[in-house]
Amino acid sequence: DTGVSQDPRHKITKRGQNVTFRCDPISEHNRLYWYRQTLGQGPEFLTYFQNEAQLEKSRLLSDRFSAERPKGSFSTLEIQRTEQGDSAMYLCASSLESGSRLKNIQYFGAGTRLSVL
């Protein structure tokens, strides 16, 4: 069990550029979550997947944001035409859900810190 892995750890980009982040969940975890955390605030939910299906998206996830989990394993989060307001820590979490009762124990990665200049 190597934990949730996120790549890159830091990303500096210029306004208007596209960026893509990757998240590798804990092996065999079927749920994967993306959150955004700005300085001095708690994480805010963006979206989550169960296997390859994207089950919920926050209204925070504008049309410039897209997330995929094509094979139900790793996930990517892409931001197109970045804006300075996109500067934040992007956190990924995963959990294993089975049976009828939700456990919802989410394990977090260390995050990708995005700075938009």
Return d(Cα 95, Cα 107) in angstroms, integer: 6
Residue 55 carries which side chain, given as an amino acid letter?
Answer: L
Q: Does 74 bind other proteins (CB under 8 A)?
A: no
Report the DSSP pairing between strands 10-13 and 112-116.
Answer: parallel
CB of 42 to other proteins, least distance (A): 3
Among 7, 62, 81, 110, binds other proteins (CB under 8 A): 110
Residue 42 carries which side chain, given as an amino acid letter?
Answer: G
Which is nearer to other proteins, 81 or 103 (by Cβ)?
A: 103
> Residues binding other proteins: what is the number (CB under 8 A)?
28
CB of 9 to other proteins, least distance (A): 9
Q: Does 106 bind other proteins (CB under 8 A)?
A: yes
Report the DSSP pairing between strands 31-37 and 44-50.
Answer: antiparallel
Tell me which H or E stretch contains 78.
strand 75-79
Task: Show contacts with other proteins in window 4-63 (CB under 8 A).
Answer: 4, 31, 33, 35, 40-45, 48, 56, 58
Q: How many CA atoms lie within 13 A of 24 on its CB side?
A: 9
Which is nearer to other proteins, 15 or 24 (by Cβ)?
A: 24
